[in-house]
């Protein structure tokens, strides 16, 4: 049986699945129910000076009949008093001593940081998370992403927190930067034990085309909010790998952003996350999704021969490289399994309109054409588009071909003059 015990920057939990700091981790009652359902940890909804929220606050993107593939919000930090929050944290920790309770914080002055950190630790926090990420409302008041976007401010506040804290400190980074690395390094320099990423992405989720107002609508106005949910996973994965691949960045990462199931979680871990946090999918489906997450991860680890999480964390990082190091002579072509093909011709249109015009409808013979398309292999550039559009699993596969050329990257080509194979589809 694989061991799912987690240690992320010194914060321990029975499994790597944590609730992200957000509505599902807003109160003691909720967090305790989540732990009962199986969640290993929770990052409490950000504490600070309680705020007043707007109504409504959430928006979503539906795509082709699937609801809320992307989500956004314009809510702020906790609107409940600090006393109530700390009392509930204390009760939760007492009932669940082995689970991770991380307290997310966002205040302005050094004094406030000192005070709130002390009270969090007194309440039993296993760790702290500094919210340097919120991209709406709080940043206008000089907090949240306003801090996360300024490496020097980030580093300074982090160093205060580390000084006042007796438990591990995570810095939650904002994705609203052109390159996340300097910000991760700033947190590291400030002494953070780890970082969490990503917080939400600055966004306008939609526009009400009848009322002429963006969403979510507050009366007759709206504002930019934070984008999250399934659709942001690719951005989060990249930012995660950008840090974990860098030789300079050495502290652990708690991965967040678009995680909806165990597969997503495994992907984050393979790119170096030692725990994962979930917000939107819990908001949409409830705490119960964790059952499948645990089971799926367990089964994945068993089937791949991993006994502990360390064995898989970061395993795909070495395979994330620069474009200039990719082998330009590696060549694949698309092959259709005629037995599986249902004849929809989606690959034909896709290749004709969106790729290299090398999949053709088979010619009619005696009025009865087979609907299995024909690939002109001499023209196929191996782009993958047809495989992506084909509705039948494993019907199209990308097959490597031996073109007789030794591997050669762009960098090698430029520096050592290694020969490149002739181009295809470039006429």
Ligand X SMILES: Cc1cc2nc3c(=O)[nH]c(=O)nc-3n(C[C@H](O)[C@H](O)[C@H](O)COP(=O)(O)O)c2cc1C
Does 279 participate in binding ligand X (rule CB under 6 A)?
yes
Q: Which stretch binds ligand SF4 (CB under 6 A): 160-168, 187-195, 206-214, 389-397?
A: 389-397
Angstrom distance (rounded) from CA 320 to CA 34: 34
Binding mask 15-54 for other proteins (x = CB under 8 A): ----------------------------------------
Pick one of other proteins, ligand X, ligand SF4, none as the site partner of residue 14 (Cβ within 5 to 8 A by kind).
none
Which of 77, 89, 270, 381 binds ligand X (CB under 6 A)? It is: 77
And the tokens for 98? 């082995």
**What tokens appear for 79 in the block?**
């609107």
Element at 85 (helix H, strand E): helix 82-95
Prior bond of 309 cis (ω within 30°): no
If binding means CB under 6 A, how many residues of this protein chain bind ligand SF4?
29
**Restricting to residues 163-192, which ones interact with other proteins according to CB under 8 A?**
none
Residues 168 and 193: their CA atoms lie apart, in Å, by 6
Task: Give the alpha-carbon dihedral of 16, 22, 23, 29, to 10 degrees.
Answer: 50
> Which of these ranges, 67-75, 246-254, 321-329, 374-382, lies near ligand X under the rule CB under 6 A?
67-75
> What residues between 369 and 408 interact with ligand X by CB under 6 A?
none
Give the residue, chosen from 390, 413, 417, 419, that forms a contact with ligand SF4 under the rule CB under 6 A.
Answer: 390
Distance separating alpha carbons of residues 214 and 156, to the nearest angstrom:
36
Quick one: what does residue 219 bind among ligand X, other proteins, ligand SF4, none, with the CB cut-off 5 to 8 Å set by partner type? none
Provide, rounded to whole angstroms, the least separation between the CB of residue 164 and ligand SF4: 56
DSSP state of 258: S
Q: Does 290 bind ligand X (CB under 6 A)?
A: no
Q: Establish if 278 lies at the interface with ligand X (CB under 6 A).
A: yes
Contact residue for other proteins among 54, 343, 405, 413 (CB under 8 A): 343
Q: Closest Cα to residue 384, out of 421, 334, 420?
A: 334
CA dist., res. 47 & res. 45, Å (int): 6
* CA 31 to mean position of chain CA atoms: 22
Is 134 one of the catalytic residues? Answer: yes
Work out whether 211 is an interface residue with other proteins (CB under 8 A). no
Closest of 174, 163, 171 to residue 193, by C-alpha = 171
- Please count the other Cβ atoms lying within 10 Å of the Cβ belonging to residue 104: 29
Q: Which is nearer to ligand SF4, 218 or 374 (CB)?
A: 374
Binding residues among 113-142 for ligand X as defined by CB under 6 A: 131, 133-134
Q: Which is nearer to ligand X, 45 or 387 (CB)?
A: 45
Contact 14, 6 (CB under 8 A): yes
Q: Which helix (H) or strand (E) holds 44?
A: strand 41-47
**β-bridge partners, 128:** 103, 169
Radius of gyration of the chain (CA): 25
Question: In this structure, are residues 124 and 101 in contact, taking their beta carbons and an 8 Å threshold?
Answer: yes
How, if at all, do strands 194-197 and 169-172 pair?
Answer: parallel
Backbone angles phi, psi at 262, to 5 degrees: -65, -30
CA distance 191 to 164: 12
Should residue 359 be labelled a site residue for ligand SF4 when binding is judged by CB under 6 A? yes
**Using CB under 6 A, which of 356, 400, 401, 410 touches ligand SF4?**
356
User: Which CB atom, from 213 or from 349, has the smaller least distance to other proteins?
Assistant: 349
Tell me: does residue 383 bind ligand SF4 (CB under 6 A).
Answer: yes
Question: Hey, which residues between 321 and 350 contact ligand SF4 (CB under 6 A)?
Answer: 334, 336, 341-347, 350
> Which listed option, ligand SF4, ligand X, other proteins, none, makes contact with residue 279 (CB within 5 to 8 Å by class)?
ligand X
Residues near other proteins (CB under 8 A) are: 64-66, 342-346, 348-349, 361, 367-368, 371, 391-392
Residues near ligand SF4 (CB under 6 A) are: 334, 336, 341-347, 350-351, 355-356, 358-359, 373, 375, 380-386, 389-390, 392, 395-396
Residues annotated as catalytic are 134
């Amino acid at each position: 049986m694989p061991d799912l015990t987690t240690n992320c920057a010194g914060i321990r939990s029975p499994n790597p699945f944590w609730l992200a700091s957000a509505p599902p981790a807003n109160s003691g009652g909720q967090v305790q129910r989540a732990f009962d359902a199986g969640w290993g940890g929770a990052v409490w909804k950000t504490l600070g000076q309680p705020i007043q929220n707007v109504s409504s606050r959430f928006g979503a993107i539906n795509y082709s009949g699937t609801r809320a593939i992307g989500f956004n919000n314009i809510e702020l930090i906790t609107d409940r008093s600090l006393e109530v929050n700390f009392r509930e944290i204390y009760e939760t920790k007492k009932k669940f001593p082995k689970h991770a309770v991380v307290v997310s914080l966002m205040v302005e002055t050094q004094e406030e940081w000192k005070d709130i950190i002390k009270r969090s630790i007194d309440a039993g926090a296993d760790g702290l998370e500094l919210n340097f990420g919120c991209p709406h409302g709080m940043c206008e008041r000089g907090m949240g992403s306003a801090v996360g976007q300024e490496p020097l401010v980030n580093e300074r506040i982090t160093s205060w927190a580390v000084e006042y804290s007796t438990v591990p400190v995570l810095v939650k980074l904002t994705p609203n930067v052109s390159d996340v690395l300097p910000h991760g390094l700033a947190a590291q320099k400030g002494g953070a034990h780890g970082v969490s990423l990503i917080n939400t992405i600055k966004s306008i989720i939609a526009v009400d085309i009848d009322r002429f107002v963006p969403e979510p609508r507050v009366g007759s106005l709206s504002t930019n909010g934070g984008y999250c949910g399934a659709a942001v996973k690719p951005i989060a994965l990249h930012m995660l790998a950008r840090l974990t691949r860098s030789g300079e960045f050495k502290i652990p990462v708690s991965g967040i952003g678009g995680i909806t199931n165990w597969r997503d979680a495994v992907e984050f871990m393979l790119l170096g996350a030692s725990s994962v946090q979930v917000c939107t999918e819990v908001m949409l489906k409830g705490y119960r999704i964790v059952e499948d997450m645990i089971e799926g991860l367990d089964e994945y680890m068993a089937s791949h021969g991993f006994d502990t999480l360390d064995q898989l964390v970061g395993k795909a990082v070495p395979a994330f490289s620069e474009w200039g190091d990719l082998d330009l002579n590696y060549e694949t072509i698309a092959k259709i399994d005629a037995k599986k093909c249902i004849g929809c011709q989606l690959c034909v249109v896709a290749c004709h309109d969106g790729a290299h015009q090398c999949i053709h409808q088979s010619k009619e013979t005696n009025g009865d054409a087979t609907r299995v398309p024909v690939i002109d292999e001499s023209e196929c550039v191996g782009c993958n588009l047809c495989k992506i559009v084909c509705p039948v699993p494993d019907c199209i596969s990308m097959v490597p071909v031996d073109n007789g050329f030794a591997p050669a990257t762009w960098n090698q080509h430029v520096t050592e003059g290694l020969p490149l194979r002739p181009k295809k589809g470039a006429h």
